Structure 1
Amino acid sequence: ARQMKAERERRAVITEADGEKQAAIARAEGAKQSAILEAEGRKEAAFRDAEAREREAEAEARATAMVSEAIARGDVNAINYFVAQKYVEAFAELARSPQQKTVIVPAEMGALVGTIAGVGELVGLARAQQGSPRPTSPPPAAPSAATPVAPRRPRGGVPVTE
């Protein structure tokens, strides 16, 4: 009877050890699979981030090329647009700065208003070139002394300065 009891205990210990071994293997396989899936996820995210940066760079390059072409043609509105864009970007960066407690706004806002009017004119010209109807807009604000007067270009005509 003692021999049979010892044999049963031995089998129970072996079975229990085998079960623990199988559980450890299953846990290790699960951890391995989890690590693989995490790495694949990070790889996919990095790939998509790089693709997004690439598309953004391409769009920026196209926009810069269009503005450069307009500047090369002597279009003052394009120059105003480019300057206004950089001005707004710099101002936004100043506002985001964690050390910045005060933002100094120039008292002469007429130049900015004139630039914005120039941007509106540039958009209107772009729409006219694409054949879409130009929306009616209020007349542009009177330019200040610091604002350059942008020449208007009638269709196929010579620039006219008002």
Structure 2
Amino acid sequence: MIRKLNTKAQVPDITILEIIACKSSYFISENSIPNRSELTAKAGDEYVLDIVTKIIQVPKRLSKQHLGKNCELSLLSAYEYSRKSGVYSESHPVFFGTMRFRGQSRSGIAYIPSARKWTIEQQIRSSIFRFIEVREEHFQRGFGGILWIHLSEVNPINLEVEQ
């Protein structure tokens, strides 16, 4: 039996969140691991910005039960520094992020560039950024991989109406 492949390009799912509050934390540690020939010095840091939001739009395929409910989106910046030849080098995360809408659980997690982490937090706290538009791969069983995140001052729904 030959199966026909679906070759249509799928439009990403869109979730729009209104920012309510945020809190941040920062952690740094040093881990030295003794090796037979030398000491392998490593350090790591992690910044977490937890943003509490209200869901104002969910993808059509998801239950409308999530509308108006809170969703926590965690933006992370994590690095590991290893000592090689007297210089510390940064390792970059290969994971971007996911969104989850399952039952009573509504959350997301994504990595952000280290250089922007403090600026993003300041802009959220000063209400410059009030909305977050998240585009995801098609949700399957309540999970969707994040393709991109757009933080803005204006509700993206209003922008669509104006165009």
The bucket for the TM-score relative to the shorter chain is: under 0.3
Between 1 and 2, higher relative CO (CA 8 Å, sep ≥ 6) is seen in 2
Larger Rg: 1
Q: Give TM-score scaled by structure 1 length.
A: 0.22
Q: Give TM-score scaled by structure 2 length.
A: 0.22
Q: Which has the higher helix share?
A: 1
Q: Which has the higher strand share?
A: 2
